Amino acid sequence: MMKSERSLIIGGFILISIIWGSTWFAIKIGLASISPFYGILFRFMIAAAILAVLMKLRGEKLSFDKKSIVQYLNLAVLSFSFPFALVYWGEQYIASGLASVLFGAYPFVVAFGSHLYLPAERLNIFKSIGIVIGFFGIIIIFWSDLHLGSANVLGMSAILVSTLMQGSSLVILKKINHPMSPTALSLGGMLFGLLIMIPLAIIFEDISYLKFDASGVGSILYLSTFGTVVTFVTYYWLMKRVEVVYLSLVSFVTPILAVALGSILLNEILSAQMFLGAGLVLLGILTANGGDLKEQVKKMLDRKRNNGK
């Protein structure tokens, strides 16, 4: 690997970590002006338009064979519409940093689902211990607000249900294993997702209450361009050049950045109990990746040793 490409890879990892870490803050800012479902609707419309232009420039077209439609519907229902609606709705009641920490359970959902439905990706001791640690972290986070009717509990539950849905969506995609470009897959899923979000927004929210001020418009533009398109393109560019295990560490970095941004810019205060729970979730993510990281480090050292001979 050339030094220039290595620098681009490091830069790409930093870029997606910063952007994904800031999306939780951007959603929170936007909710003060734009209601949740309309916020998602506008975000998807702009992102889909940009992705469509990218596909046009590349000479790509959407496929509408049976397997492709199944993948679009999977993403529309389990990744782009209801899960995003739950995240936006949940962030009305809890801190943006806490929302990002709860979403940190995503790798655990994927690992457990892969163990059940993908024979080649069974759980190892590291993943099993990581899931247990992360589970206890989530229990600790919930414990202080675990009483019926608490808005905090409802908000946190919405984030966790979203996490479960999006993790399941990835496992289903891997199970189907139908070849398709990332841009086409994302665009198709968003277009079908828009068919769900349009009636949800019209039925449940009043458009007359929307405020298209600097915060609302800025949030939508940032989330659609950087939070959706830039991160998506960068992530899949990185996937072709580095091991996936290293990319999975993004889920460890982003909650830390999100908590820091929420604390500094929104004056969000998390209790000591929530910080303890968040720490266990992050430790669980790191532990779950421990086996793969150990293996990759071993391979890297072996390659260096062989090159030196």
Task: Identify the residue whose tokens are 């600097």.
Answer: 214
CA distance 235 to 238: 5
What gap in Å lies between CA 239 and CA 296, rounded to an integer?
15
pLDDT of residue 248: 64
23 to each of 88, 100, 158, how far by Cα in Å?
11, 9, 17
Nearest to 216 by CA among 36, 48, 89, 31: 31
Low-confidence residues in the chain, pLDDT < 70? 1-3, 144-149, 239-240, 242-248, 293, 296-297, 300-304, 307-309
DSSP-based three-state secondary structure for 119: coil
pTM listed for this prediction: 0.85
Which one, of 76, 68, 75, 87, lies nearest residue 196 by Cα?
76
pLDDT of residue 80: 92
Distance CA 157, CA 160 (A): 5
Give the pLDDT of residue 162. 95
pLDDT confidence of residue 271: 79
Strands (DSSP E) found in 37-152: none
Beta strands in the chain, from DSSP E residues, in sequence order: none
| Spatial separation of the C-alpha atoms in residues 114 and 141, rounded to whole Å | 26
CB hemisphere CA count around 101 (13 angstroms):
32
Q: Find how far residue 55's CA is from the centre of its chain.
A: 23
Structure token digits, residue 81: 């519409």
Q: Residue 170: in which H helix or E strand, if any?
A: helix 151-176
**Cβ distance 169 to 79 under 8 Å?**
yes
Boundaries of every domain in the chain? 3-307
